[in-house]
């Protein structure tokens, strides 16, 4: 599954030039990581993944924790 262009554009707008942190939460069988992406703001931390879902450009995927991390 590819990342929709609208989601890609919103993601770029949300994180361009900002302090963000990626946390690997799991991996695909082929090694591609699943990440949580956090943006650090003066008023707190924003979970970018959740904001993309809230904006309707992404879907939430529940993963089981990866014991190898």
The pTM of the full predicted model, rounded to 2 decimals, is 0.79
Query: Are 17 and 5 a contacting pair, CB within 8 Å?
Result: no
Lowest mean pLDDT among 4-8, 10-14, 18-22: 4-8
Query: Are 23 and 35 a contacting pair, CB within 8 Å?
Result: yes
| Per-state percent for the chain, helix, strand, coil, to nearest 5 | 25, 30, 45
Looking at the predicted structure, is the pLDDT value of residue 3 above 60?
yes
Query: Are 12 and 22 a contacting pair, CB within 8 Å?
Result: no
Q: What is the mean pLDDT of residues 9-15?
A: 93
| CA pair distance 24, 16, nearest whole angstrom | 20
Provide the pLDDT confidence category of residue 38 given band limits of 50, 70 and 90.
very high
pLDDT at position 68: 58
Looking at the predicted structure, is the pLDDT value of residue 66 above 60?
no
């Amino acid at each position: 599954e590819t990342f929709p262009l609208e989601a890609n554009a919103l993601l770029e707008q949300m994180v361009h030039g900002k302090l963000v942190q990626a946390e690997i939460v799991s991996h695909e069988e082929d090694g591609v990581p699943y990440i949580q992406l956090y943006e650090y703001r003066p008023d707190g931390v924003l979970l970018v993944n959740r904001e993309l879902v809230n904006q309707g450009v992404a879907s939430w995927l529940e993963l089981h924790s990866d014991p190898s991390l």
